[in-house]
Structures are given as structure tokens and as C-alpha cells.
Amino acid sequence: MQRGVVVPVGPKGQSRVVMLSGVGGLIVLFLLSVYVLALAQVTIHTPAENSTNQGSFLLNASTDAQASNVTFFFINASGVVVDNVTNTTPGTTFLFSYNATERGLPDGVYNITANATNTSGTTVSATNANVTIDATPPVVGDPAPLAGTLYNESEQVVLEVNASDALVGVEAVEASVSLPNASVSTITLSDTNSDGRFNGTFSDTSLLGRYNVTFIANDTVGNVNDSVTTWFNVSDGTPPSVSSPTVTPSLARSSDPVEINVTVTDTQGVAGVNVSNASSVVMANVSATLWTVVTNATALGCGEGVCTLTFTAVDNYGNVNNSVTASLTVDDTPPLQAENLTNQSTGRTWVFLAWNVSNATDVNHTEVWRDGSVFVANTSQTSYNVTGLVAATAYTFQVYTVDDAGNKNTSVSAENNISVTTNPPNQLPAVVQINLTPLSPLVNEDLNCSFVVEDNNTGQSLSVNITWFVDGSSFLNTSFGVSNGTLASHVLGSGNTSVGEVWTCEVRPFDGEAYGSAVNASNVTILDTPLLVSLTAPSNNSQHNATFLLNATTNEVAQNATFFFFNTSGDLVVNVTNTTSGTVFTYNFNATQEGLPDGVYNITVNATKSTGTVGSDTGVNITVDTTSPTISSVSLSDNITKNNTNVSVTVNVSDALVGVVSVSAEGVSLVSVGGGLWNGTITLVAGGSPVDVIATDGVGNVQTDTSAGFIIDDTAPTIHSVSLSDNITKNNTNVSVTVNVSDATGVVSVSAEGVGLVSVGGGLWNGTIALVAGGSPVDVVAVDEADNNATDTSATFTIDDINPSAQNASVNASLVQNTTPIRLNITASDNTGVAAVTAQNTSSVSLNLVNGSLYSAVTNASALGCPEGQCVIAFIVTDEADNTNASTTLTITNDNTPATISNVTNSSITNESAVVQWQTNENTTGVVWYGTSSGNYTFSVANNSIGVQHAVTIVNLSPNTTYFYVVNTTDVAGNKNQSGEFNFTTEASNDTAVPAVSAVTATPSTVEQFSPVEIAANVSDNVAVDTVLANISWPNGTSETITLLDGDADGRYNASYANTFVLGVHNVTIIANDTSGNRNDSETTTYTVVDTVPPSVSGGVVNDSVVHANASIRINVTVDDNNTVASVVVGNSSTVSMSNVSATLWTVVTNATALGCGEGTCFLRFNATDASSNSNTSEGVSILVDSVSPVIVSVSLSDNVTRNNTNVSVTVNV
């Protein structure tokens, strides 16, 4: 039986005749009345209203009933239909892949209308308004820095570029920087001034060399402009560091060796160091940073005196540092000659010599010589007793001065040369030594005249006659006996002397038979007694406020006393004087009035007698402090508490000079606990904030503080939530608990099940508790700053001690290598849920849940920690309560050892073939790789049969050629091995015929610059062609050789050549070699490289868009060309030439008249021409020329008859 079919064949209410077939071929006609849905609505899905879109997008509309087509109309802001497209495939969904660029649709804002039409002609419409279409990338220009700008190492570089997008705006601008080491760094630029100028700082300039910068601008719909570039160089601009120069010795003669050292460092290496004055000496590098040289003053060009040595250090980039100097004093001048050499006294075996040195600072020591050739001694004194002489013998003595540099004055004159004869064995007694001490006697000191008398007449007793002289007159004469050669003395009491007198003593010896000569001691002058001063106030180490008493006493009457205040640096700050004579001196000192700052001082007092004698006392150290203490902080042990609570208060207070002696808070005295801290207990009450603190220092200065406030709180905290890290666990298991709690004044403690938790921030408290069966829920207690409590029991948990089940473990491969991928599967389940499944040998791998209870992972033997050979893999299943099942295992074999290759031989060698055989210790396949140079194997022959005996035949070899080969094997597990290198030489050939070359072509014969050219030739040989080359000679003399290949095996060799950047005629020579070494290079051809690409013109800007006809304006434009830009002009009805100021920037300063611009808007065009006469004219920028002055139509006043100095309104119509 035929079932009926309902067919939508016509519009609503129309009838159609439908033919249905029946049994036995009976045809029945039915008149059907069919109801068809009417077309009522079309909806545009994309693009959406108010959307922004790139150039390519999808038009998508749907209808509520069948439609035959949909047409999309693009209507601009002026209501003009700019484009329309139609989808004619009937249906209810209509799509169209629209490309604005291909359709020629300008960028802009459009209303998109979709008209849907059905078969009956019914049309419905829908419009999506304000759809923005933008297929144009952002405009980018004026990059900075200028190309080739030089920066120092590690100097920051500001990268800048102008970027704009007229429709959708710029979304992001980046700078991609290619560093000298080929690494790339990208930074994001920002429009910090919202003026379209994007900038950013690039800091990674530690490498030296060229940095290439590409600016990448993206608009909000994804259009990208990455065409603007620049570059800069980074060089080392930092000179070496020079320090620690030493010159040893620092005083020397011109020829004396001098060692000079200096420390020099530089990040890029030190090229050299020299030291110089008038001449330069090169220094040597003896360690990482130490440079040294041993030289002399002459080599350095130093003259007499102080010589300044300059160190010049140069690094590997030519940076120079010559700022460091050192000094060498050159002394080639001997000191002045010793003068007035005299014989002070003479004995039988000694002579006492004395002399003068006119410039003692220039003399280091004096050499004493005898008879011109016998060195006696060196002495730093101006006298010397020469001993060991022979009685009654004549001698000459010389003295030579020597300075610090070693210069010696060896000149001889009467000043430093003397003749002396020692005393004879028998002679008159003599005073051989006499001294009067003290050399500077005080008026209250005795004078002591000591002497030694010698006499050869030992049979008689010796005596002396002593005479004391004062101011040249005899004062006292006395005689007494002495011993021969023994020190004797006579004392004159201090009561005989007065201040200012000059005294001496004279000794005349007598041996009982005759008097010897009288000898006088040196004169001494009687000095006044010292004035003793004692500073009695203030006391040592005392502390004072602004006013205190100064007091000093003297041992005798003084005319005045001055008190000096020295600071700790030894500088005099203040001094005051008491001019009242006496023995007690006081002064009421006021530090503020005298201008003495707070600090520690040493007070010294000087007193002066009427004789001018001054006495002093080194004084005492005192501290002057007029400044109050400094309270750094006041802290409370609890500043949030309940009303009427005792808290601890701690005050941090300091006084730089005298220290703090008392501190109180709210009237309660605090106790010092050290380190400037004072502590005590006070009671906090509502309304009592802040806390009043008073601090007093050791001299009574007071400071107050009210910085410490407090809060009274009687409200408990709020517990928002309690969570457990694991609420399904084994009995008696530790878990982490987290409590979210807040309080207006702060939470101080939270506990769970009696365990204290730790605050982790954000109101969260964390800790670990043990969960036990029957213990649910968890008891939580929170305490705030004021000890208010809150409790919570919302967190519950489940105890699970049942292990999970594991079964059906499988692996997809049983023989593997370390890195062979294998899939592990196992089925795992648990009453509370499976938490993790892992597989392991010595290392663990996690399996992932695939579906239901199947867990799987793709891993390898290495990840599982498998050893070589048999590897047992254990599966470990863990449930949510950390119960585990590790009873399931399986085994794989891990084979990573390659086969051993042995017995490699070659045989059956002809002029074109050879056989290679080898053996392996296990089943493998094999490949022989071979080539004509050692270590370079470019061809291969494979033996894919698995076994241990292997052989391959190598064919198509060249005659009389040595081939080098290696054997590669792969075992069943995939392990590979390679043999050592072997070689064989093919038999020679008798071929002498060169290859035949014909039909040489270069296509095209005229090629656009940078476009490829196809080079081809027919080559054949009676034996075999080996290689075909093409040597290409450029117009600039450079040549390059490429290989041609017979890709189709038809004897036609060809290659594509792309290095066509040099303009002019290129010569091509074909070089054909056969396998016998015969060569043919007789066939040639040519091709010509031309440039037909005009320059690109972009980024035209003018510095002022509204100008007077004769006002100067600057016009810039960016012009680039694959070769060279010859000229650029700009103008309207007339043009002016522009100048090239950088790599691609052209500029000119002109005016509107010169550009041929009339009054009003003037469009300027740029025309650029390259060296090949290709030109490009671009519509650049526009200016508005306004040279007409404004016209004042009328001026009116609100009142033109008024009083003097009255304000009125003025209106100007202009």
C-alpha cells in the first residue's frame, strides 16, 4: 500500500495537482490544498550592531521561513549604497565570506541591510547599524632613535614611533629588538601623553654591536603594520678605571730604578697602560688588574724636583683614562758642603770633631773620612769622636754630607777638611770634656758643671780651678781635686741665678807641676718657672644645660685666663676670657648667648703671667645639651581592648647627648628596660584616648607625646566559614583546617578542636588537626583583640579505612627502549572515590581517568625508572582517604643496548660497484652509508632483512675513486649502532671524452631586481655525468657558483638563482664534469637585472597645517627604495626639491607661494624618483592657506554717553 505524502508545493491557500502512483500502475490525480509558511522576518547575526570588524568577515543572516536569496547592502553615512552581495542558495540560513579589500569597500562606518526574498517575491529587511569596517593597518612613522644612533654600553635607549588609526584606534604598539647575538627582545610601547607618540625604554644593551628595531602596531580589529624599522649601535664608551698608583721609592735620583704599580679595570678588556711625564714608558700586565714597570726618572722624562706621573689606560674600544697621577721626586743635586769643621778637643788616641750643616733638612747623614781614603763612620749628628788613633800623630779628617736620595757632596775645602795631631805621650793636663746642664735651666734649678781631666803625669795629684761667669763677669771661683780621666762636677745653687741671666763655667786643670789650658762650657740662659693652671669647674664628663660656671686656679698670680671649647674634631668653636688678675678665674657661661651648639666639648684653659709666661690645663670633657628628648614611638601591648583593662605601655625615647632620666604615661612613672625603651602598666578606659606621655632628660629638658591611641571593643568576631583540606580521611589523620573570620578590631587567635591556627592573611587562619571517628563536627573558637569569643560547628567529615580495588592492568608493548612510548591501563574503584593512580619502578608516573573506572597513561621506561632488562611495574591506587592498593604489577623488557658490529669487509670491486659484508651479535637490519670524503657520507644502501649475516651491493660508483663508508644497524628494540669508518677504491676507467653541453638558457633574459632567474642546460656523457655547475659573474666583479640538477632525469639540468640584487648584465658559464673527471666549461649565456619598482612614499607631515602664503613651513616625508632615491619634490601647481637628512627621511623648509598654493585648502603631492628613473607620485598632506586679514563690520557700545571711568559692554562684528 502507498502511503500519502504531504508536500509543501505552493503558497498559503493555493492548490497544486500531485500525482501519486498506485497498485497496478493506476494513476490517481489529487487536488491538494497546501498551506505554506509565509516569509515574515530576516535576522542579521554577524556582523553585530556597533561592532568593529577587520577587512575579512562573515555575513550571516537567517529567515523565519524558506527564502530563495538574501542580499546584503553596505550603506555609508551619506545613505549611499557602496556595495551589495547576494547569496542565492535557497534556505533559511545565508552566509557570505566577505573581503572588503577584494570588493573595493573603503574603510568606514556602515549600516548593513539584509533583504530576504522568497519564491513568491515577498521581501523582508533587517538592518544592523554602525558597523565599522577597517581593513587598513595603523599608520606608523617617525621612528626614534634615528638609524645609526650610537649609545654606550648598558645605556638605556628610548624607542619611539608615531602610530595612529583613523577608525578603530591603535590597540598596542611593540618594538621587536634583534640583539647582536641574534636573540630577540620585545617591549611594549605606551602613549604616555595621549598624543599618538608611543615610547618605551629598552635596557638590555650589555652586548656591543648593531641592534635592529622593528615597530609592530596593531589596531583593535587585528590589522598589523610592521613595516617601520630603525637601528642603533651600542659601543663601549666607558674608559678604564684607574686606581691605587704607587711609586717606590718616591724620592730617587734620575738613574735609580723605580718600581711603579697601578690597578686598571675595564669591562671590555684593557688594551694597554703607560706612565709618563715628558716621556712615556709602557707598563706590563702582571695579574688580573695589576700593571707594573721598573724604570727610572730619565726614561720618564722627569727633571729635577717633583715630577708628576700621568697614567694613561686604553681599553679595547679606544676609550682613554688619563686622569690619575702620582708623584716622583727627582733629586740629582748633592747637599751643601759641611761647614766649619773644627777639632773640639784632642787626646792621645782620639779627636772630637764638630761641624755645621747649613740646611739640615737636605742632609740625611754625614760620612767621616780620615786622610782622604779611610772611611771612619756615618753619623746623623754634627759631631763625632774619632777613636783608635796613635799618640803624637798627624791626621787629616774630611766630612761629606749625604741627602735622602743618596747624593753625596764629595767636594773638599777648608770648611770640611781639617788637620789634627794627637797629643804626645807626655803633656800638660787637659780638660777633654766639659758640659753645663741643664741646657735650658729654670730659675729654681741648680746649674751642674761636669767635666773630665786627663794627664800623662800620673805621678802627681790632679786638681781643677772652677770659675762661674754670669753675663760675662766672674761670679764664683773655687778649687778641688779630681781623678785622672774620671767625670767630675761642680753645682751652683738656684738661689744665685735670676731669670734672663747668661751663665757659663770655666775649668782649668793643675797636675801639681803645671796648669793646663782653661776650657769654658757652652752658655746657658736662666728661664722663668712655669705657670701651673688647674681647671676646677666644670668637672670632667659632666653634663650641662645652657648655663654653667667656668673656674680655673693658678699657682701664682696671672694677668688673665682664657677658656677654649674644642669639638670632637679638634676644631675651636668658642673661647671666653677673664681679664681680672689673680690666682682664681671664674666665668658664668651661657651656651646660647655665646653661640655654642649642643655637643661634647673639650675645655682647655690658658693663663698668662706678667712676664708673658703662659700656662695651660688640658682641661675636661663636658656635654652641653639644650634640646629636649626625642620620643620615637609609644606602643601599647594591646591598643584594642575591653573597657577598664590594664595594658603594658612601651616608650622608645632617646636623647643624643645626656640621656633620658624619667618617662611617664598617664601620670604613671615608667621603668627603663634598656635600648632607649621605658615600660610600665596603665589602665585604658573609654574616652581616654590618646595616651599622654612625658619624657625628661638629664639636664631637665622635657618632651611630650600623644601619638598612641586605643580602641575599646566589646563585640565578638564573626566566623564566615570553616573548611577542611580533606573531609574524607582515615581515622586519626591530620588534615589542614582553614577558618575565614573577621572582626572590626582584629582577630588575635583561632583554634579548631583545641589546636591553635595561624593567620595567613585575608581573614584566613590555617592549621592542622587530627580527625577521629565520632568527632564530627569540628569545634572552632575565634578570639578578637579585646578577648571577645565566637564559636562554630559547621565543618563535618567522614572516616574511611577501606582500601580501593585494582584489576585488569595492561601494557601495549612488552619489548621497549627507554624512550619508547607505551600505554598503561588499569581499572580502579573505591567506596569514597579514587584520588590517584600511579605506576612505577623506581620513578612514578600518574595515570588519568579515561571513563568510568578506567585509568590510562602514555609514558616510557625511562620515566618509570626501569633498569636495563626485566622491569616490574607496580600500580598504586590511592582513595580520597589515602588508603592504597599496590598489589597489581606487570613486567616489560627494557632493551637499550645496540647490536655489536663485526667482520666488516668489502669485495667484488669494479669500476662502478662493490660488495660490503658484516656480522652482528643479534638480529638487526642494516644500512651502509658512503661518500667520497672521510666523515662525509651522502649516499646509502639498505639491507632490511632481519638477521646476523648482512651484505649489500653498492652500484653507480665513479671509476678510480676512493669511497669511505660506515655500517649502521638497528635491532628489534630500535637500538642503533654505527661501525668505524672503512674504505675501498674502484677500478680505473679509460673514458677521456668531455660531457656534451647544449641549449644553455637563462630565463627570463631580463629579470626584475630581487626576482629569481632559471638557469638550464642539456648535458650528456658517454659514461655518466657527475656534476653540472653554473658560474655566475656579476657586473661588480663578484662571482658565485651554483649546482644544476637533472630533476626529471631527462638530461636537462636546471636551478633557480635568487641573488639578483646587482643591476646590469650577468655572465653565466656552464661547467660539466663526468664521473671520469673530464670537464667541459665552453658554453655560456647572459641575463640582465633591471629595476622597475618605484620608490615608496609614506608618512608625509607638515609642521603647521594653517599658514600664511609667505610663512615658512617644514615638510617631512619618508621615501624608501630597493636601490637609491635620486630626488624628491613636493608641491601643488609648482614644486620645490627636498633634501635627504637621514636613511629615508627627506625634508624642506619652504612656503605656500613656492609650492604653487592659492588661498584656501591646498593639496600637496610628493614625487620621488630613484636611480633607475622609476618615479612615484603620492597625494601627501593638505594645508590651509589664509593670507586675508579679518574684516571688522561694526563696533557698538552699550552706552556711548556716560560718566568718566564707567564700565560698558562692547560688541564687535568681525
Q: What integer pLDDT is reported at residue 317 of this predicted model? A: 80
What pLDDT, in 10s, does the model give residues 815-854?
888 988 899 999 999 888 898 999 999 999 999 998 888 9
Q: Are residues 115 and 197 in the same domain?
A: no
Contacts of 1 (CB under 8 A, 6+ apart): 23
Q: What is the pTM of this model?
A: 0.32
Of the listed ranges 10-19, 202-211, 914-923, 1194-1203, the least confidently predicted one is: 10-19
User: What is the C-alpha separation between 669 and 695, in angstroms, rounded?
Assistant: 10
Q: With 80 as the cut, is the pLDDT of residue 9 above it? A: no
**What's the CATH number where 911 sits?**
2.60.40.10
% of the chain exceeding 90 in pLDDT: 54
Residues 371-394 have pLDDT tens digits of: 999 999 999 899 999 988 888 899
Average pLDDT over residues 281-309: 93
pLDDT above 90: residue 882: no
Those residues whose C-beta lies under 8 Å from the C-beta of residue 784, and which sit 6 or more positions away, are: 640, 713, 715, 716, 717, 743, 745, 746, 747, 748
Q: From CA 958, how far away is CA 912, in angstroms rounded?
A: 6
Indicate if 389 and 419 belong to the same structural domain.
yes
Q: What is the per-residue DSSP string for 173-197?
A: EEEEEE-TTS-EEEEEEB-TTSSSE
- CB-based contact 289:265 (threshold 8 Å): yes
What are the two backbone dihedrals, phi and then psi, of residue 101, each rounded to the nearest 5 degrees? -65, -45
Tell which residue, 367, 333, 338, 359, has the closest CA to residue 252.
Answer: 333
- The rounded distance, in Å, linking the Cα atoms of 1211 and 1196 is 5
Q: How far is 234 from 706, CA to CA, in rounded Å? A: 59
Distance CA 472, CA 84 (A): 140
Q: Answer with the one of 467, 502, 529 that is the final residue of a domain.
A: 529
Q: Which of 837, 858, 820, 1168 is nearest to 975 (CA)?
A: 820
Look up residue 1182 and give its DSSP letter: E
Question: How high is the pLDDT of residue 1124?
Answer: 87
The pLDDT confidence band at residue 37, using thresholds 50, 70 and 90, is low
Is 1203 part of any domain? no
Tell me the pLDDT tens digit for each residue of 1144-1163: 888 999 999 999 999 988 98
Instruction: Tally the C-alpha atoms within 13 A of residue 1175's C-alpha that lie toward its C-beta.
Output: 10
| Whether residues 438 and 522 fall in one domain | yes
Query: Do 573 and 644 belong together in one domain?
Result: no
Asked whether residue 1214 is assigned to any structural domain, the reply reads no
Residues 817 and 888 in one domain: yes
Provide the number of structural domains found in the chain.
Answer: 12
Look at residue 8 and tell me whether its pLDDT is greater than 60: no
C-beta of residue 1064 within 8 angstroms of C-beta of residue 1106: no
pLDDT at residue 258 tops 90: yes
In the DSSP assignment, the letter for residue 362 is: G
Q: How confident is the model at residue 19 (pLDDT cuts 50, 70, 90)?
A: very low
Q: Same domain, yes or no, for 726 and 753?
A: yes
DSSP 786: T
- Same domain, yes or no: 227 and 245: no
pLDDT tens, position by position, 191-215: 999 999 999 999 999 888 899 999 9
Q: How many whole angstroms separate alpha carbon 83 and alpha carbon 122?
A: 22
Question: Among 1087, 1084, 1078, which residue's Cα sits nearest to residue 1022?
Answer: 1078
Give backbone dihedrals phi and psi of 206, rounded to 5 degrees, phi first: -80, -20
What is the pLDDT at residue 865?
Answer: 94
Share of the chain above pLDDT 70, in %: 96
As beta bridge partners, residue 879 has 834
pLDDT at residue 460, rounded to an integer: 55
Residue 326, in any domain of the structure = yes
* 18 has a pLDDT exceeding 50: no
Shared domain check, 980 and 1070:
no
Residue 24 falls inside a structural domain: no
Taking the C-alpha atoms of residue 564 and residue 533, their distance in angstroms, rounded to an integer, is 14
Indicate which CATH number applies to the domain containing 1015. 2.60.40.1930
- Sign of the C-alpha dihedral computed for residues 970, 974, 980 and 983 taken in this order: positive
Grid cell locating 500: 734672663
CB of 914 closer than 8 Å to CB of 986: yes
Query: Which pLDDT score is estimated for 826?
Result: 94
Same structural domain, 150 and 171 = yes
Residue where a domain stops, chosen among 591, 624, 657: 624
Domain boundary among 425, 460, 477: 425
- For the stretch 645-661, pLDDT in tens is 899 999 999 988 888 98
> Do 524 and 434 belong to one domain?
yes
β 1106-1107/1175-1185 pair status: parallel
Radius of gyration of the chain measured on its C-alpha atoms: 57
> If we measure between CA atoms, which residue out of 770, 886, 803 comes closest to residue 838?
886
Distance CA 282, CA 302 (A): 15
Q: Is there a domain that residue 1028 lies in?
A: yes
Q: Hey, what's the cell of 137? A: 593597518
| Peptide bond between residue 137 and the one before it cis (omega within 30 degrees of 0) | no
Average pLDDT over residues 566-586: 92
* CB distance 353 to 397 below 8 Å: yes
Identify the H or E element spanning 1126: strand 1125-1131
pLDDT score at 426: 62
pLDDT at res. 513: 63
Residues 6 or more apart in contact with residue 840 via CB below 8 angstroms: 864, 865, 873, 874, 876
The answer to whether the Cα torsion of 829, 832, 835, 841 is positive or negative is negative
Q: How far apart are CA 1081 and CA 1017, in angstroms?
A: 12
What's the grid cell of residue 172?
A: 598596542
State pLDDT tens for residues 602-657: 999 999 988 888 888 887 899 898 888 999 999 998 888 888 889 999 999 998 88
6: how many CB neighbours lie within 10 A of its CB? Answer: 9
Q: What letter does residue 49 receive in the DSSP assignment?
A: T
- Cα–Cα distances in Å, from 581 out to 144, 226, 607? 84, 96, 10
Among the listed ranges 247-251, 592-596, 726-730, which one has the minimum average pLDDT value?
Answer: 726-730
Give residue 751's identity as a one-letter amino acid code.
Answer: S
Mean pLDDT for 210-236 is 92
Predicted local confidence at residue 459, as pLDDT? 47
DSSP three-state, residue 496: helix
Spatial CA neighbour of 841 closest among 890, 897, 878: 890
Asked whether residue 368 is domain-assigned, the answer is yes
pLDDT score of 1179 more than 80:
no
Give the model confidence (pLDDT) of 85-104 as tens digits.
Answer: 999 999 999 999 999 988 88
Instruction: Show the CA angle centred on residue 549, arms to residues 548 and 554, nearest 5°.
Output: 155
Cα torsion angle, 937, 938, 939, 945, sign: positive
Return d(Cα 941, Cα 958) in angstroms, integer: 16
Q: Are 952 and 966 in contact (CB under 8 A)?
A: no
Bond before 335 cis per omega within 30 degrees: no
Q: What are the tens digits of pLDDT across the range 42-77?
A: 999 999 998 888 888 899 999 999 999 999 999 998
Residue 247: count other Cβ atoms within 10 Å of its Cβ: 19
**Residues 99, 46 share a domain:** yes
Between CA 575 and CA 585, with CA 580 as vertex, the angle to 5 degrees is: 60
Residue 800 lies in a domain: no
Concatenated DSSP letters for 1063-1077?
Answer: -EEEEEEEEEEETTS
For the stretch 265-279, pLDDT in tens is 988 889 899 999 999
Report the DSSP pairing between strands 1079-1090 and 1006-1008: parallel
How many helices (DSSP H) and strands (DSSP E) are in the chain? 3, 103
Measure the N-to-C terminal CA separation of the chain; round to a whole number of Å. Answer: 98
Domain boundaries, position 305: 241-330
Query: Average per-residue pLDDT in the chain?
Result: 88
Q: Could you tell me if 104 and 145 lie in one domain?
A: no
The CATH number that applies at residue 688 is: 2.60.40
Q: Report the distance separating Cα 1068 and Cα 1087, nearest Å.
A: 8
Specify the pLDDT at position 81. Answer: 84
Please name the residue ranges forming H helices in 425-496. Answer: none
Beta bridge partners of 1120: 1096
Q: What is the pLDDT of residue 199?
A: 96
- 1195 within domain boundaries: no
Q: Which residues contact 183 (CB under 8 A, 6 or more apart)?
A: none
Residue 444: CB atoms within 10 A of its CB come to 12
- Min mean pLDDT across 25-29, 106-110, 289-293 is at 25-29
pLDDT tens figures, 1013-1069: 999 999 998 888 889 999 999 998 888 999 999 988 898 999 999 888 888 999 999
Over residues 784-809, mean pLDDT: 88
- How far, in Å, CA of 724 to CA of 734, rounded? 10
pLDDT at 848: 93
